[in-house]
Amino acid sequence: MTNTRLNRQSLRQSLRQARRQLSPQQQNQAAQALLEQTLQSPWLQTAKRVALYLANDGEISPHLICEYCWQHKITTYLPVVQDKHLEFALYKANSLWQNNRFGIAEPKTSEYVKPDELDLIFMPLVGFDAQGGRLGMGGGFYDRSFAHKKSQQKPLLIGLAHDCQQVEKLPLEDWDVPLEGILSPSQSIQI
């Protein structure tokens, strides 16, 4: 195993631990501040189709962003694992659920869109840097799904994170897909 991979694995463990240590109150405050940052950013203003995720393992929750989308007639989607890539399933307040092979809840629906049919994707991450680097959970689903996407081409990829997940510079690999922006409770970074 290369030094970069060992560094990424160690960094992934410490950053996941940091976000897991946030109390429920800190998580709620972070979700509220994240919504405020999102509404001040340019990304959601013209979006018609937005993908987000269900928070897991201490991830910052986009549930308030989702509620805002529903209130403003912005169609929402959740990622669904299809083999080694992601498709996006329609997500409504009354969606039925099923667990995927990782035990993660996904909407039970026949209404899917391909990634390039979305305007904006709010992505979970484990770590980020100010240059748009993203360290994910290690499965590579987002990276494979957007490997051929060009910068500023639909959909825009925006990472969501707690402030404690920021590092100076991530050790990146060739396959890592950069983000166009990052939102945290205290900042909006446009790349």
How confident is the model over 21-36, as pLDDT tens digits? Answer: 999 999 999 999 999 9
The DSSP element (H or E) to which 50 belongs, if any, is: strand 49-51
- Residue 1 pLDDT: 46
The CA-based angle 19-126-116, given to 5 degrees, is 135
Q: How confident is the model at residue 143 (pLDDT cuts 50, 70, 90)?
A: confident
Q: How confident is the model at residue 163 (pLDDT cuts 50, 70, 90)?
A: very high
- Residue 38 pLDDT: 97
- Residue 6 pLDDT: 63
Q: How confident is the model at residue 4 (pLDDT cuts 50, 70, 90)?
A: low
> For 56-81, what is each residue's pLDDT tens digit?
899 999 999 999 999 999 999 999 98
> For 83-141, what is each residue's pLDDT tens digit?
888 999 999 999 999 888 888 888 988 899 988 899 999 999 999 999 888 998 877 78
Q: How confident is the model at residue 144 (pLDDT cuts 50, 70, 90)?
A: confident
156 vs 139: CA distance, rounded Å: 21
At 49, is the secondary structure helix, strand, or coil? strand
The answer to whether 78 and 106 are in contact (CB under 8 A) is: yes
- In CATH terms, the fold of domain 3-190 is Rossmann fold (3.40.50)
Q: Domain extents for the chain?
A: 3-190
43 vs 45: CA distance, rounded Å: 6
- Residue 118 pLDDT: 95
Q: Which two tokens stand for residue 41?
A: 């950013």
